[in-house]
Amino acid sequence: MRSRSLLRPLLTLATTAALASGALALAPLGQAATPSAAPATADPVGLNAPYEYLGWGSPQKPTDVMAATGVKQFTLAFMLSDGGCNPKWDGTRALTGGSDQSAINGIRGAGGDVVVSFGGWSGNKLGEKCSSASALAGAYQKVVDAYRLKAIDIDIESTEVSDAAVRQRVIGALKTVRDANPGLREYVTFGTTPSGPDSDGFDLIRKGAAAGLAVDGWTIMPFDFGSHSGSMGSVTTAAADGLKNAVAKAYGYDSATAYRHIGISSMNGRTDEADETVSTGDFTTIYNYATAHHLARLTFWAVNRDRPCASGSSAGDSCSGIGQSAYAFTKVVAKYHG
């Protein structure tokens, strides 16, 4: 699966442009702003938090998105390795004191909150660079402490998810962090086939259950299938049913409980596959399914793309490639309450 492979550069000139325009403000020179405390939000953090990547795709100012859509949460991407077992934004930007922290402070100041997403398709992954589960847990914990987080997302893809030892390391680290932070919500996000998780995904879930790790939302990315039949709305719900069955079997949950421990992370508009499109109608189908089954999480990749392309432009990091109104997908996520 090529999940997001074309949409995840480590760093682009968009960040520079955003900084120059003032969309992302740095802390005053020589002064590291203190991370703001996480406010109390009506929904569990992560339930309805669309992805935004502040180092890619001409990112919108999060507080402007909040004002335009009513969304209160964001899943901010990506926390990576600096080459060792040390977390940095995109593997290059300081954990605190920079533009990412300023964005988080702004979101919280406007009454919202954030999930920090570790991993993604490209770049150096902490799951691979940290040599043990305890070391990886320390890296996760460093970010939790820096931002007083209520939720984290492990977006495990590419070489990170395909390595059995790394899968076990991630599960062990998440168990340690969960035990040390009662109430912290943990989401694990990975690719899928049209009928549910592939062998790596099944193994990840089984390892979690065997470790006694109660993940809040095992989340699939139902796109970049290569081929499928039916609409993207229908294939997404079929894949989610497959995920529900896998989680129910591994944990011994009944169906209703299993649904409450899974999530969907779709992609808006044209995906990495040239002939694969998630329309606003498909996304409404996904929303209705999530609402009917009370899923633990409904999100998508990404706010950066949640706008129509300029005339003559194609889908990419800053537009969806379909006819849509600005923030059409974000507005759907904002009204999801489990």
Q: What phi, psi does 54 have (nearest 5°)? A: -80, -5
Specify whether 186 is catalytic.
no
Q: Which spans in the chain are helix H?
A: 13-21, 62-69, 99-109, 126-129, 133-147, 158-162, 164-180, 199-211, 232-251, 255-259, 280-293, 328-334
**Is the CA virtual torsion 7, 8, 13, 19 positive or negative?**
positive
Catalytic residue from among 52, 128, 157, 160: 157
What φ, ψ does residue 257 adopt, rounded to 5°? -70, -40
| Rg over CA atoms, the chain | 18
Phi-psi region of 230 (alpha: psi -120 to 50; beta: other; left: phi over 0): left
Token pair 């076990």 is found at 168
Region for residue 220 given its phi and psi (left: phi exceeds 0; alpha: psi -120 to 50; beta: otherwise): beta
Cβ pair 248, 196 in contact under 8 A = no
Of 243, 192, 188, the residue nearest 217 (C-alpha): 188
Please list, in sequence order, all residues whose beta carbon lies within 8 angstroms of the beta carbon of residue 146, skipping any fewer than 6 positions away: 35, 95, 96
Active site residues: 157
